[in-house]
């Protein structure tokens, strides 16, 4: 299979990481699920020169189906492990954005200091324990940290986000980096006041409610999946809750 449109989606997300300020140079990688396994960005190729034909097709066991402009990203274990274990995930993005990576180097999670943390699916954006890049051990750590989540930090390394599409994973990565920069800014003045579990539960409920018909164009691809604490069966029922406007009346 050719997967032309999905190849373009991977290329655009890979280029978008640099354009949106998430990465500099060649770090970061993007994958998308296909019947054969996954499409994955190749290793050590500048994304500005990456074309759809250069995308590598791999089985989830790492076997190369189409070499593209290979070799595949050294983080293929991480992408494969998530796609194999999470049928709700269609795309995985990994990047090294400055503020989120700074927190990851302190091995700190992003707590519920802001209600938009709920976008990542829970009441925090956790930090996965350290393991050497490119290893199955790192993939296992990330998979655990992503339980009930759509994003996590990687200790002394960067972030991972997931979505139904590469574009959705990219948008979430931008949100995570924005939250990280806000959290770092707040920490410079003092410890921020954290929202309670009850307050975050209300946010999760509102996000799900907006997903039932109150989404706004331009935010629709940032939908939380209702996988957070106390979430319902949105995913099983195939619904896709939409991101609420951040400034809606009555929003916390």
C-alpha span between 39 and 67 (Å, rounded): 10
C-alpha span between 96 and 20 (Å, rounded): 12
Can you list the positions of beta strands (E) in the chain?
29-34, 37-40, 56-58, 64-66, 91-95, 127-128, 151-154, 158-163
Least Å from the CB of residue 54 to Zn ion: 19
Task: Please identify, using beta-carbon distances, which residue of 95 and 116 lies nearer to Zn ion.
Answer: 95
Task: Please identify, using beta-carbon distances, which residue of 151 and 223 lies nearer to Zn ion.
Answer: 151
Q: What is the pattern of x (binds Zn ion, CB under 5 A) and - over residues 108-137? A: ------------------------------
Q: Longest Cα pair distance anywhere in the chain, in angstroms?
A: 54
Residue 4 in tokens: 């032309």
Task: Please identify, using beta-carbon distances, which residue of 45 and 118 lies nearer to Zn ion.
Answer: 45
C-alpha span between 64 and 57 (Å, rounded): 6
Least Å from the CB of residue 154 to Zn ion: 7
**Minimal CA–CA distance to 180: which of 238, 241, 233, 106?**
106
Task: Please identify, using beta-carbon distances, which residue of 72 and 158 lies nearer to Zn ion.
Answer: 158
Chain residues 192-251 in contact with Zn ion, contact rule CB under 5 A:
none
Which one of 156-164, 168-176, 219-227, 242-250 is the stretch in contact with Zn ion (CB under 5 A)? Answer: 156-164
Contact 132/193 with Cβ under 8 angstroms? Answer: no
Beta-sheet strand order (sheet of 29-34): 64-66, 56-58, 37-40, 29-34, 91-95, 158-163, 151-154, 127-128
Choosing from 12, 48, 51, 75, the catalytic residue is 75
Task: Please identify, using beta-carbon distances, which residue of 11 and 138 lies nearer to Zn ion.
Answer: 138
Least Å from the CB of residue 14 to Zn ion: 13
The conformation of residue 88, written as its DSSP 8-state character, comes to T
Which one of 38-46, 117-125, 155-163, 168-176 is the stretch in contact with Zn ion (CB under 5 A)? Answer: 155-163
Which one of 121-129, 152-160, 176-184, 211-219 is the stretch in contact with Zn ion (CB under 5 A)? Answer: 152-160
Least Å from the CB of residue 138 to Zn ion: 9
Q: How many residues bind Zn ion (CB under 5 A)?
A: 1
- Active site annotation includes 220: no
Q: What residues line the site for Zn ion (CB under 5 A)?
A: 158
Residues tagged active-site: 75
């Amino acid at each position: 299979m050719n997967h032309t449109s999905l190849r373009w989606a991977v290329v655009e997300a890979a280029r978008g990481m640099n354009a949106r300020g998430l990465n500099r140079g060649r770090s970061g990688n993007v994958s998308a699920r296909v019947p054969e396994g996954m499409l994955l960005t190749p290793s050590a190729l500048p994304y500005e020169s990456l074309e759809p034909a250069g995308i590598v097709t791999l089985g989830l066991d790492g076997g190369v189906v189409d070499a593209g402009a290979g070799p595949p990203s050294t983080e293929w274990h991480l992408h494969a492990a998530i796609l194999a274990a999470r049928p709700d995930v269609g795309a995985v993005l990994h990047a090294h954005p400055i503020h989120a990576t700074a927190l990851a180097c302190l091995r700190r999670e992003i707590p519920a200091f802001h209600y938009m943390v709920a976008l990542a699916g829970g009441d925090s954006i956790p930090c996965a324990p350290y393991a050497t890049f490119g290893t199955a051990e790192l993939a296992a750590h990330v998979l655990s940290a992503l339980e009930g989540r759509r994003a996590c930090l990687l200790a002394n390394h960067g972030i991972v986000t997931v979505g139904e599409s590469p574009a959705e994973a990219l948008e979430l990565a931008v949100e995570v980096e924005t939250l990280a920069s806000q959290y770092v800014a707040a920490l410079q003045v003092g410890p921020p006041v954290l929202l309670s579990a009850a307050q975050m539960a209300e946010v999760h409920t509102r996000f799900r409610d907006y997903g039932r018909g109150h989404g706004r164009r331009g935010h629709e691809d940032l939908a939380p999946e209702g996988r957070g604490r106390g979430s319902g069966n949105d995913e099983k029922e195939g619904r896709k809750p939409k991101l609420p406007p951040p400034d809606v009346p009555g929003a916390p």
